[in-house]
Amino acid sequence: MAGPFAALRLSCQDALQQRRAAGRSRCPRCGASRMFYCYSCHVLVQDLDPQRVPRVKLPLKVDIIKHPNETDGKSTAVHAKILAPDDVTIYTYPSIPEFYKPDKVLLVFPRPGSLTLEKLMEKQRCARLGLPPIESSDHSREEHAAKRMKCLHGSQPIPGEKKVAGVAPFERAVFIDCTWNQTNKIILDERLQGLQCVELRKHETHFWRRQKGKPSTYLATIEALYYFLEEYEQLVLARPPTGSYDDLLFFYSYMYGLVHSAKADKLYHD
């Protein structure tokens, strides 16, 4: 596959190509006419073999809170539910899950006070070490910074730090699914105020329905989930990239190809 997804380890998309060539099918639950999946019931159409669609296992549970006015057919959140059904739950606002351990939950959204995942992990580890942030005043700033970086990057033992094998610092990640102009209604909800916010700054969207006036770093929901998990694997689980989550973009990358092929064809004939 050419384009921005060329380096991904994606499962074969022949089933999608064949399904598209054959035309629309039916949702096995509601009977609606759909192409690949029913965006209302979050299931594949009856003529698309589930054995030919990948399943992705996530390292933590994911809650997606969808704005009630978000158009189901335009949302990419359903991709996550279909491809990782055991780990993803979609709620329609004002329905929000109850977070019994808020310190184990991350809200992925760029609001004031949010940190990158890298900064959050650094902050937490500094707190365990009893080290002040590097920005704080310190008479021996350079010496302090050197000591801090050695500890953070594991080049010397960390006094008093206990590591428990198999225990992850976070259990859930929460995403908001709506247009950026609709986010305030959800993000200001008091039930989300106690959650640590993390933001994604390094990635640009490839969504074909770009929101006018918004920066290219404002991602579609499935993009945000994918890039978050890529960073989570490296920064929290301390594993090199494995491509384990590439198939979250299985539908998205295929649709991207269709949209851009159609645009190219239109330009050619114009």
Whether residue 140 lies inside any domain: the answer is no
Q: What is the CATH number of the domain that holds 172?
A: 3.40.1280
Whether residue 25 lies inside any domain: the answer is no
Whether residue 61 lies inside any domain: the answer is yes
Give dist(CA 53, CA 216) in Å, integer: 29
DSSP 4: G
DSSP 251: H
Residue-wise pLDDT for 30-68, tens only, equals 999 999 999 999 999 999 999 999 999 999 999 999 999
Whether residue 158 lies inside any domain: the answer is no
Give dist(CA 148, CA 245) in Å, integer: 32
Residue-wise pLDDT for 138-157, tens only, equals 444 455 555 555 555 544 44
Q: What pLDDT sits at residue 163?
A: 46
Containing H/E element for 90?
strand 88-92
Alpha helices in the chain (DSSP H): 14-22, 77-83, 117-129, 141-152, 183-187, 221-235, 250-269
Rounded to the nearest 10 degrees, what angle do helices 141-152 and 117-129 cross at?
100
Whether residue 187 lies inside any domain: the answer is yes
82 lies in which domain range? 54-118+166-269
Q: Give SS3 for 200.
A: coil
Q: Considering its fold, how many domains does the chain have in total?
A: 1
Confidence of residue 261 (pLDDT cuts 50, 70, 90): confident
Whether residue 98 lies inside any domain: the answer is yes
With a cut of 80, say whether residue 195 has pLDDT above it: yes
Whether residue 37 lies inside any domain: the answer is no
